[in-house]
Copies of this chain bind each other. A is one copy, B any other.
Amino acid sequence: MFESAELGHKIDKATYERSVPALREALLNAQYDLAAAARFPVIIVIGGVDGAGKGETVNLLNEWMDPRHIHTHAFPEPSEEERERPRMWRFWRALPPKGKIGMLFGAWHTEPIFKRVMREIRSADLNAEINQIVRFERMLTDEGALLIKLWFHLSKTRQHKRLKALEKDPRTRWRVTDTDWARFKLYDRFRAVSEYYLRHTSSGEAPWTVIEGEDARYRSLTVGRLLLASLRERLQRKTPAQSSSNAPALLPAVDRREVLGSLDLSKRLSKRKFDSDLEKWQGRLNLLSRDPKFKRMSVTILFEGPDASGKGGAIRRITGALDARQYQGITIAAPTEEERAQPYLWRFWRHLPRRGRFTIYDRSWYGRVLVERVEGLCAERDWMRAYSEINDFEEQLVLHRTVLAKFWLQIDKEEQLKRFKAREKTSFKRFKITAEDWRNREKWDTYQIAANEMIERTSTSPAPWTLIESNDKFYARITVLKTLVQRIEAVIDSKAKR
């Protein structure tokens, strides 16, 4: 894979200086067209051998192009803030919006390759990382991103020569450290692991391109022209690729049995029992939130369910037990302009809490497979892939010691009608009922189909759904609190055992 990048590619100064002005102009024009159309983001992933010109290339592109439309990110050792979130969080934060170019200098590939070279992880663990990365990159290209992965390479001989040359020159001697020589000793191993990684993360949609790093003029012209050709080709294309899906049909409803329909909505709790239970479970929740072990985990709670199913009320019973500085409540409405310019899950990644905190969602990332599906706001192939993207996302949260509690509050159609009418009668609740609520109600059955499918495809062992019979608010609220307390206790106890 590195054959072409060990040939000693070279461009003479005259050719270079003759070529650059036109290239720069064309790149700038393409960049403005990209920004004007704002149809897709460009993600340039930069990896490779030390000293092969990664940093110089990043600087050069920033110089050649309009830096207002380029975001450059480097990923040194993770900060404390970053270590408190799943590993991919820092990369999600760095994704460029549609119309912009993001240069990721040492992206998600760096840590797995480095750790494997240093034998900190086993080859099988590297495979698990690769699996996750392949799915992540597929999500990016499915979202329409132009993903350009550049690997800067130097042969062993040239790497050796380069270090020697830097050492010889008094002006650059300081740049060569013992670490550099120690890493050079690992050259062969680094090359083998990188080749394995490149091979297993290359696909038709997101191939790696290997570039010889030695000659600055060759390297710069190559990267510039590659970027230009990729931009031009994608800008010319009118329709985004892959508008239809090869997926089979969804499970047909053959009998009338379905998960939500099978809930026993007659479950009830008396006011007296509610009051005593509320005190008990809120007390336990509060104790847990102050447990020293809680500092090493976090809790994400989300609520879905029909309008007027009692999501707000249940949330208030949780927050009532917590210190206001310890939780964040998030209500999900239509995405903002900034959010629409990013992959679907981006707006949820951005809100991920640090450790020791609660985040409570009133509606959530499941909007994709509920309202967006039912209202036709996104194509079938997009919501179909959302199930696995969501499962991957939630798995990462849970692996990062997040208790993820997903509550579906189920009421029946009659109960909803009763509550709608009651809201209309109570002046201070009237704002809670709108024409849209009545419209949604007409699509009750379609929403239930989507909800059943969602539960089926996203109730997983790391992140199960809890379905709450909610015709009775007392019963629903206590069940939510109790489930939450038990889920947190299970994790705190399991930590203790370790």
Residues of A at the B interface (CB closer than 8 Å) are 1, 3-4, 7-11, 122, 124-125, 127-128, 130-131, 134-135, 138, 141-142, 144-148, 192, 195-196, 199-200, 202-207, 209-211, 218, 221-222, 225-226, 229-230, 233-234, 237, 241-252, 254-255, 257-259, 262, 381-382, 384-388, 391, 395, 452, 455-457, 459-461, 465
Q: Which residue of B lies closest to A7 (CB)?
A: B257
Cβ of A262: which chain B residues have Cβ within 8 Å of it?
A: 7
Expressed in whole angstroms, the Cα–Cα distance for A141 and B395 within the complex equals 25
Cβ of A455: which chain B residues have Cβ within 8 Å of it?
A: 3-4
A-B contact pairs, 14 of them (CB 8 A): A10-B255, A11-B255, A130-B131, A141-B246, A199-B388, A202-B388, A204-B381, A204-B385, A205-B245, A205-B247, A221-B254, A226-B248, A230-B248, A241-B246
Cβ of A245: which chain B residues have Cβ within 8 Å of it?
A: 204-205, 241
Q: Which of B196, B226, B242, B456 contacts A251 (CB 8 A)?
A: B226
Expressed in whole angstroms, the Cα–Cα distance for A473 and B200 within the complex equals 37
Q: Which of B134, B144, B251, B457 contacts A134 (CB 8 A)?
A: B134
Expressed in whole angstroms, the Cα–Cα distance for A200 and B465 within the complex equals 18
Q: Which of B3, B135, B259, B382 contacts A3 (CB 8 A)?
A: B259
Cβ of A457: which chain B residues have Cβ within 8 Å of it?
A: 1, 202, 207
Expressed in whole angstroms, the Cα–Cα distance for A18 and B87 within the complex equals 55
| Copies of the polypeptide in the assembly | 2
Expressed in whole angstroms, the Cα–Cα distance for A487 and B387 within the complex equals 46
A460 touching B203 by the CB < 8 A rule? Answer: no
Output the least CB separation between A259 and chain B (Å).
5
Output the least CB separation between A160 and chain B (Å).
21
Known contacts A1-B457, A388-B203, A460-B1; is A249 also within 8 Å of B226 by CB?
A: yes
Q: Tell which of A207, A222, A225 has the most Cβ of chain B within 10 Å.
A: A207
Expressed in whole angstroms, the Cα–Cα distance for A465 and B1 within the complex equals 10
B460 touching A195 by the CB < 8 A rule? Answer: yes
Q: Which residue of B lies closest to A12 (CB)?
A: B255
Cβ of A252: which chain B residues have Cβ within 8 Å of it?
A: 222, 225-226, 229
Q: Which residue of B lies closest to A192 (CB)?
A: B461
B249 touching A233 by the CB < 8 A rule? Answer: yes
Cβ of A242: which chain B residues have Cβ within 8 Å of it?
A: 241-242, 244, 246
Cβ of A382: which chain B residues have Cβ within 8 Å of it?
A: 204
Known contacts A128-B124, A249-B226, A257-B10; is A207 also within 8 Å of B3 by CB?
A: no
Cβ of A465: which chain B residues have Cβ within 8 Å of it?
A: 3
Known contacts A257-B7, A456-B4; is A148 also within 8 Å of B209 by CB?
A: no
B254 touching A222 by the CB < 8 A rule? Answer: yes
Cβ of A202: which chain B residues have Cβ within 8 Å of it?
A: 387-388, 391, 457
Cβ of A221: which chain B residues have Cβ within 8 Å of it?
A: 254
Known contacts A204-B381, A248-B146; is A7 also within 8 Å of B131 by CB?
A: no
A246 touching B128 by the CB < 8 A rule? Answer: no
Cβ of A207: which chain B residues have Cβ within 8 Å of it?
A: 247-248, 384, 387-388, 457
Q: Tell which of A8, A11, A207, A255 has the most Cβ of chain B within 10 Å.
A: A255
Output the least CB separation between A35 and chain B (Å).
18
Q: Tell which of A211, A221, A244, A249 has the most Cβ of chain B within 10 Å.
A: A249
Q: Which residue of B lies closest to A149 (CB)?
A: B248
Expressed in whole angstroms, the Cα–Cα distance for A159 and B296 within the complex equals 40
A146 touching B246 by the CB < 8 A rule? Answer: yes
Q: Which residue of B lies closest to A239 (CB)?
A: B244
B127 touching A7 by the CB < 8 A rule? Answer: no
B124 touching A204 by the CB < 8 A rule? Answer: no
Q: Which residue of B lies closest to A203 (CB)?
A: B388
Q: Tell which of A199, A206, A385 has the most Cβ of chain B within 10 Å.
A: A199
Q: Tell which of A125, A127, A147, A452 has the most Cβ of chain B within 10 Å.
A: A127
Q: Which residue of B lies closest to A262 (CB)?
A: B7
Output the least CB separation between A63 and chain B (Å).
19
Expressed in whole angstroms, the Cα–Cα distance for A4 and B252 within the complex equals 12
